[in-house]
Amino acid sequence: MFEGVMPLKHETLQSQVHQQLCELILQGAFVPGESVTVARIAKALDVSPMPVREAISQLMALGALTVVSGRSVGVPRLGPAELADLRKVRIEVETTALRWAVAAADEDFIDQLAGILAEMEKAEKAGRVKEFIHENYKFHFAIYQHAGSPLLLDIIATLWLRITPQFHLLQSSGHYRVSNSQHRDLLVAISSRDTEAAVVALKADIDSAYAVISMAIGERQ
């Protein structure tokens, strides 16, 4: 039926660029207040500007990126109402994934989280901001992936595309140390299969970060 059909190379390339940009955002590569040109992104990914522009358009539709000037993009500014909405939705969606992950927890999963948390603690002590944000992403998404729902994981990833760059605002307040303490509480609760304690720890993590980011955003406006 499909003999002779040519592969959609352009669409595949655009999809790969989109995925790579998503990973860069989730790993903390984009910092609030900074911008980057389409040409620089294209050069870094070794592609032409066309698939980069198409991927950026998709990410703009998700609220993850915005045009800073004609040829540069950056992280959108979040207002108080949008930030509060993200907090509320994150708590509802991420605690659901957490409950499912705790129900499916095994020793390999717990060992995985412990290893990531150890790297987060090293990054925090060394003051390596982007590394901490990357490990934070790995820690949380190891949990959400263990929930076993690709659809739920996609929803959470979309939320994190909007909030992750704001995690850079936590560093100057010393919040990364607080965050690691909350992650330790979360790991202990998961290890004990204590779902409600895990939910309390995750809510504390989201709420404390929200408070610091809200203050930082208020000072910038």
CATH number at residue 13: 1.10.10.10
- For 213, half-sphere exposure in the C-beta direction (CA atoms, 13 angstrom radius) is 25
Domain match, 85 and 64 both: no
Tokens matching residue 54? 């198409």
Q: Is 172 part of any domain?
A: yes
- The per-residue pLDDT of the chain, averaged, comes to 91
Domain match, 68 and 85 both: no
- CATH for 99: 1.20.120.530
Q: Is 39 part of any domain?
A: yes
Whose CA is closest to 129, among 86, 171, 174?
171
The reported pLDDT for the residue numbered 120 is: 95
Residue range(s) defining the domain that contains residue 26 = 9-74
What band does 33 get if pLDDT is binned at 50, 70 and 90?
Answer: confident
The reported pLDDT for the residue numbered 2 is: 39
Residue 157 has pLDDT above 90, yes or no: yes
Domain match, 128 and 180 both: yes
Per-residue pLDDT, averaged over 3-10, amounts to: 50
Predicted TM-score of the model (pTM): 0.87
CA 33 to chain centroid: 18
Residue 154 has pLDDT above 90, yes or no: yes
Whose CA is closest to 22, among 123, 120, 159, 115?
159
Tokens matching residue 151? 């659809």
Residue 98 and residue 143 in contact, taking contact as beta carbons nearer than 8 Å: yes
Q: How many domains does the chain have?
A: 2
The reported pLDDT for the residue numbered 8 is: 43
Q: Is 3 part of any domain?
A: no
Q: What's the first-to-final CA gap in the chain, in angstroms?
A: 59
The reported pLDDT for the residue numbered 219 is: 64
The reported pLDDT for the residue numbered 148 is: 98
Domain match, 61 and 162 both: no
Per-residue pLDDT tens over the stretch 40-96: 999 999 999 999 999 999 999 999 999 988 789 999 988 899 999 999 999 999 999
| Those residues with Cβ within 8 angstroms of residue 118's Cβ, 6 or more apart along the chain or in another chain | none
Helix 150-163 to helix 80-103 angle (10° resolution) is 150
Comparing 110-119, 131-140, 172-181, the range with the smallest average pLDDT is 172-181
Domain match, 89 and 47 both: no
Give residue for tokens 């936590």.
Answer: 170
CA 123 to chain centroid: 17
Residue 218 has pLDDT above 80, yes or no: no
Q: Is 2 part of any domain?
A: no
Per-position b or e across 51-87, b if 16+ CB within 10 A of its CB: bbbbbbebbeeeebbeebeeeebbbbebeeeebeebb
Q: Is 69 part of any domain?
A: yes
